[in-house]
Amino acid sequence: MLRLAPWLIATLLVGPILAGLAMAALPAFGYLPALGGDAFSLDPWRALMTQPGLARSVAVSFTSGLAATVVSLTVVLLFLAAASGSRLDRWIRRMVSPLLSIPHAAAAFGLAFLIAPSGLLARLASPGLSGWERPPDLLIVNDPWGLSLMAGLVIKEIPFLLLMSLAALHQLDAERRVAMARSLGYRPTIAWLKVVVPSLYPLIRLPVFAVIAYASSVVDVAMILGPTLPPTLAVSILTWFNDPDLSRRFMASAGALLQLGVTLAALASWWGLECLVRRLGRGWVAGGQRQRGERMLRLAGKALILLAAATALVGITGLALNSLAGVWRFPDGLPQSFTLQHWQRALPALGGPVTTTLSIAVVATLLAAGLVLAALEHEQRSGRQPAQGQLASALTLLYLPLIVPQIAFLFGLVVVIEALGTRPTRWLVIFGHLLFVLPYVFLSLSEAYRRFDPRWSRVALTLGATPNGAFWRVRLPMLLAPLLTAMAVGLAVSIGQYLPTLLLGAGRVTTVTTEAVALASGGSRRLIGVWALAQASLPLLGFIIAVGLPRLLWTNRRGMRGTP
């Protein structure tokens, strides 16, 4: 049974993606008999090319994908280099999980309200500091260059890359490397950058690719923060797909392939960038400079991550204020009055979507956790331990859903499902979520599982336990804390899913995320505050359980409570 787990995972993930891509590719070349496309042609591509502003959409998708990744990775590496062992380091490490759990849409809403010309910052600075009696007419949110979109992506991708880096760092024995470099006279930050980063980067390369793919094809964040005339490519594709003129679906399919191309181009450019940095970096490392830039790098490393974390947290606080605000006119820094009215009105409507969201997230996460545990246990028993980042493993396919843009294969998947005559159900949505929950649960759990001291199991076996007994009675209880954390990550991923829920649920399965994004175009900011806060608090619940449960269960076993 266990032997099948890795293959089951690979099939579950690869099958739908390949089917989806194929069904996006056929209509892109005019073939989709259900809609009257019986012959191959290039018409969809011609129609696509005549779309106003297409070049701009593509350019924004491409650059936001690359730029958001460059910035987030830089911030993460500088922080790790500058703050190792400091109090800030411990605080940020504790904040990683909550920050990661804020859904993208909620973080985007928070940022939008923070930086808008009539937003929280402008209100706090007006009229005293800025002299603004009314909001200035500045194009900040939804700017045509995608800068606010990139900022929104950066504050969400930093916690992800940080979590991945922290997991990988365990393999590297960074402290001893730095100690060695310091004994040669290197200042701490320079030392870290010169001796740890070159070994760390290969280990986090796949997560970085996932960030590029995500940032270049995201839909919900782009709808909230991205440019509008035209929107990013992914958002345009969604509009074309929903057009009552069904012939536009051919064009949308061509657009989906174009999106795949844009993402691949961004990945290829990243690869080029890697080569460049390697060449330049080699000179820098070998140059022997021990001190130059230390102060600046140290300051930047601490300041940038603080800025990102503070932005996310203040943004969420702004949403909370909005959800409780009565009258709140422009230059006022705080609402004139507070009211529970918005929550009271929204509560009856919140119930259904919250239940749906949780049931989908729990089922998808349990399925994912079961499969991941089976695959990891199989790996342990068969004694094969592929090093993280090594491309040869079958489980590397786990990254496929994270690297193929959602919008590129989900439409094809919907076509497949429509052709099969399957009606949209909650199970279909759960299956769609599983595609994305599984990789994240695996990424979060595998490190702890592989580092688990094998001697514990060996002792159990020596004492007469069966391999299954050793798993259930020794390994699982001892790994409860990391398992729960991985499941909390899975819950957060599922709760934040927008496009799979929307497309596979055909609009009938409403979660807090689809509701919150639906409000983006028209809802009052107070209502958006309520929904985004509800959306952000659900994953937090998961993390609280993940931290609290082991402490509760193992009150008399301090070593098993896990590290906060």
Partner 1 sequence: MVISLPRSHHSLTASLAMIALLGSATSLAGAPPGDWQAVVEEARGQSVYWHAWGGDSRTNRYLEWVAERMQAEYDVDVIHVKLGDTSEAVSRVLAEKQAGNDDEGSVDLVWINGENFAAMRANDLLFGPFTEQLPHFALTHPEHNPEVVTDFTLPTDGFESPWGKAQITFYYDSQEIDTPPMSIVELKAWAEANPGRFSYPRIPDFTGSTFLKQALIELSDADQALYAPVEESDFDAISAPLWDYLDALHPHLWRSGRQFPASGPDMLRLVGDAELSLAFTFNPAEPAAAVADAALPPSTRSYVFEGGTLGNVHFVAIPYNSPHKAAAMLLADFLLTPEAQARKQDLAVWGDPTVLDVTRLDDEQAARFEGVEDNPALLAPDALERTLPEPHPSWMEALQDAWQARYVGR
Query: Do 105 and 539 touch, CB atoms closer than 8 A?
Result: no
- Is position 518 an interface residue for partner 1 (rule: CB under 8 A)? yes
C-beta closer to partner 1: residue 113 or 270 = 113
419 sits near partner 1 (criterion: CB under 8 A): yes
Query: Which residue in the set 362, 418, 467, 549 belongs to the binding site for partner 1 (CB under 8 A)?
Result: 418
Take residue 560 and report the two structure tokens written for it: 């098993």
With CB under 8 A as the contact rule, the residue among 16, 27, 28, 56 that binds partner 1 is: 56
Nearer to partner 1, 95 or 349 (CB): 349
Window contacting partner 1 (CB under 8 A); options: 174-182, 264-272, 475-483, 510-518: 510-518
Can you tell me the distance from the alpha carbon of 189 to that of 179, in angstroms, rounded to the nearest whole number?
Answer: 12
Of 166, 265, 506, 553, the one binding partner 1 by CB under 8 A: 506
Q: Which residues, including other chains, have CB under 8 Å from residue 414's CB and lie 6 or more apart?
A: 503, 504
Q: From 34-42, 65-73, 153-161, 365-373, give the range in contact with partner 1 by CB under 8 A.
A: 34-42
Name the residue nearer to partner 1 (CB basis): 351 or 370: 351
- Least separation in angstroms between residue 43's CB and partner 1 is 18
Instruction: Quote the CA–CA distance of 447 and 449 in Å, as a whole number.
Output: 5
Least distance CB 167 / partner 1 (angstroms)? 38
Q: How far is the CB of 435 from partner 1 (least distance, A)?
A: 22
Site membership for partner 1, residue 416 (CB under 8 A): no
Largest CA distance in the chain: 78
The yes or no reply on residue 55 touching partner 1 (CB under 8 A) is yes
142 binds partner 1 (CB under 8 A): yes
Q: Is-contact 377 9, C-beta < 8 A? A: no
Of 348 and 559, CB closest to partner 1: 348
We find the least distance from the C-beta atom of residue 520 to partner 1, in angstroms, to be: 8
179 lines the binding site for partner 1 (CB under 8 A): no
Using CB under 8 A, pick the residue from 82, 527, 536, 547 that binds partner 1: 527
**6 vs 152 by CB, closer to partner 1:** 152
Q: Is 34 in the site for partner 1 (CB under 8 A)?
A: yes
Q: How far is the CB of 354 from partner 1 (least distance, A)?
A: 15
Residue 111 neighbours by CB under 8 Å, 6+ apart: 148, 151, 152, 155, 225, 311, 312, 315
Q: Are 16 and 24 in contact (CB under 8 A)?
A: no
Q: Taking CB under 8 A as the rule, does residue 281 contact partner 1?
A: no
The contact mask relative to partner 1 for 211-240 (x = CB under 8 A, - = no) is: -----------------xxx----------
| Token pair of 162 as six digits | 């940080």
Q: How far apart are the two ends of the chain, measured CA to CA in Å? A: 34
Minimum Å gap between C-beta 316 and partner 1 is: 19
64 binds partner 1 (CB under 8 A): no
Task: Please name the residue that has the structure tokens 């599982």.
Answer: 449
Whole-angstrom Cα Rg for the chain:
24
Q: Which is nearer to partner 1, 134 or 170 (CB)?
A: 134
- Is residue 350 a contact residue for partner 1 (CB under 8 A)? no
Residue 293 binds partner 1, judged by CB under 8 A: no
Q: Which residues contact 301 (CB under 8 A, 6 or more apart)?
A: 75, 78, 79, 80, 81, 82, 83, 189
One residue of 521, 555, 556, 563 binding partner 1 per CB under 8 A? 521
Class of residue 155 by CB neighbours under 10 A (exposed 0-12, middle 13-18, buried 19+):
buried
Provide the 10 A C-beta neighbour count for residue 221: 31
Tell me whether residue 183 is exposed, middle or buried, using C-beta atoms within 10 angstroms of its C-beta: 0 to 12, 13 to 18, 19 or more: exposed
Looking at the DSSP bridge assignments, the partners of residue 32 are 37
321 part of the interface to partner 1, by CB under 8 A: no
C-alpha to C-alpha distance for 148 and 112, rounded to whole angstroms:
8
| 3-state secondary structure string across 389-449 | CCCCCHHHHHHHHHHCCHHHHHHHHHHHHHHHCCCCCHHHHHHHHHHHHHHHHHHHHHHHH
Residues 406 and 217: beta-carbon distance below 8 Å? yes
- Which residue number, 521 or 555, has a Cβ lying nearer to partner 1? 521
Q: Which of residues 35-54 bind partner 1 (CB under 8 A)?
A: 35-36, 52-54
The binding track of 110-139 with respect to partner 1, each residue x by CB under 8 A or -, is ------xxx---------------xx-xxx
Q: Which amino acid is at 100?
A: L
Q: Which is nearer to partner 1, 388 or 406 (CB)?
A: 406
Residue 104 C-beta: closest distance to partner 1, Å: 18
Which two tokens mark 402? Answer: 């994270």
Give the C-alpha separation, 501 to 507, whole Å.
8
Nearer CB in complex with partner 1: 116/168? 116
Please say which residue, 329 or 455, places its beta carbon nearer to partner 1: 329
Task: Report the C-alpha dihedral over residues 220, 226, 227, 230, rounded to 10 degrees.
Answer: -30
Which residue, 60 or 395, has its beta carbon nearer to partner 1? Answer: 60
Stretch in the footprint of partner 1 (CB under 8 A) among 150-158, 310-318, 373-381, 522-530 = 522-530
Site of interaction with partner 1 (CB under 8 A): 34-36, 52-57, 116-118, 134-135, 137-139, 142, 144, 228-230, 241-244, 246, 249, 326-327, 329-330, 345, 348-349, 418-419, 421, 423-424, 506-508, 510, 515, 518-527
